[in-house]
Structure 1
Amino acid sequence: MENIYSKNDERSTVSSPWMSLCSLDSGDGNPQSPKIPDWVIKVLQQSKRTLVATRTDKKSISQLCPLFLEKAIKQFGEVNDIVRRKDGTMLIEAKDNTQAEKLQSINAIGDCEIKISLSTAQNTCKAIVYDSDMIHWDKEKLLESLADQGVTEIHNVKTSPRNNIHPNRSRNAERTSTPTFIVTFNRPTPPQHLKVGWLTIPTKEYVPEPIRCFQCQRYGHFRTSCKSTAICSRCSEPEHRPGPCKQDYKCINCEGSHSAAWKGCPVYKEELEIRKIGHRFKIPLLAVKKIYKSY
């Protein structure tokens, strides 16, 4: 897989959370400080300047008049960016850490109570564990017993039978449990292992797969919200079901000679690296992607 360092050849050595998450070996057994590309350094610098605004009544903050929102925010100066999100929250990028701290003091817009804070992801994390016997354990009892280790949720990854001719049918088929579990913790970083009775189960960093639309084959959204024309994942032409496509491969994302679903696609790799950095440093993906695209 293409390394994130390939984004920019100019590298710097910095002290950051990155140090605790990766290291390089000099070849003689002595670890060296990792070389951090400029775009990742910028992500780290921005990590404490990206805020999320929410309403305490759980309604969409976008329903508030943008004039009042702007007035409340601008009392602390101009911000770099404000973005509405589909989940009803608002992403605010402050100019610096001082401004970010001041913005977090805003608790109301008119009669509406709001909260501006670092993303809740700052205090949570996920990890992957593999254990085939775990499928048979009582989930509620397991959650209760792991609460003192910070576990708040356990999700079993399930798969559907593959059906290349009728993919819609395969997605609606009965899903089968796998030995893979995604565990959520109420802490910034996951432990190296879970202790379940006498068992010690190692954990692995969780990075969700990039989202690819099965309608237009582009990344970043689901088919349910796509308004584009349906595209064949094999040849990039307008979809021509029924029956499997026999045209030459052409990826709609990079125009390479492969399917849009191929995980070796350079665009897929780019999306995956953006997600790795976003989840590793608890920064909204939209903010990470904006920095990545600017380099």
Structure 2
Amino acid sequence: MIRHKKISGSREVADLARKTSSSGLNGKEDSPPQGPPTAVSCSGSSSEGRIYVACDSFLMVNVNPSFSYHAMHSLLKVYGTVLHIRLLYDKDFPSNRCYVMFLSCDEVRLAVEHVASLPLAGSGFKTELLHSRNISDSDTDYIPSLFDHHSENSVPEVRQIPPPRWFVAYYRNGSENFIHASRYLAKEIGTILEGNQKKYGKGVLVRAKDITQARMLQHLPCPTDSMFETVKAHPTFDYSKGCVYSQDLYEFPEEEILAMCPSSVQKVTKMRNSTNMVLLTFSGSTLPDRVHIGTINIRVRRFVSRPFQSFSCYGYGHGKSSCKEASRCGNSSGLDSHF
């Protein structure tokens, strides 16, 4: 049960604000000059200056129970930016209550002046100005900005791609002594953990132990007198690919699916010739068993790409443009010259 601290003088504050506003608009030219207005807060205190109502929230009592959060937000957002909405149906209170928080005090005053004429006002409808600091937070609060985040005009989130951890240091002459190469790398980037380097073709495969060492490998100098010609991130070891199957997700565009994914997902691709397969590219070489996408907790299956195939000879390992074999029939594997 939410307990709120009742603020004395809240109705007097609203009445005073309305009276002052109307007097400023409807005052005649021959009326005597007004004295300086009085500043009033929610607690009813006053001081010289301008009118100021330090209330950014209000309470509605006897709200129409047929209104959902979304319908209520659609009615209230015309008066300003709604930050929080909370509906309460509690057995200890005979009436329905609704707390609404706006971005500014002026928006709250405008809403209070007009909300009684809206369809959400039930029998015996009442309002009361409040300050948000007197209303405790709740996990059940409706936050409109969370649902408006994926609007058509929203800017896609720019994800920070973590630096790669796997690198290949290529030898300048094609081959070098592996022990000398290991000592050279340790002198340049610091101690390399056991098992984090090994021979790899015409170079050395190195796994950085932390981000600092990864940055050093990215910018490792390779002068002409060094044994290494260049250092590059490994093309595949720094990410893993997994696929999920969901018709619900497939209906969304790729940008919106990515926005719903955790930060470990760097890329989303909806597979062609499919109605429910979505390919996820994860940072890191470890593929998770399951992933939370929006409100869905879904199983991740390892993605196995189709092998490279020539559609001329139908062999594997090369494409049609570089195929040097004789053309064959895709059905019978017979040479085309036989037909």
Flag whether TM exceeds 0.5 (same fold).
no
TM-score, structure 1 length as denominator? 0.40
TM-score of the aligned structures, taking structure 2 as reference length: 0.35
Greater Rg by CA: 2
Larger relative helix fraction? 1
More relative contact order in 1 or in 2 (CA 8 Å, sep 6+)? 1
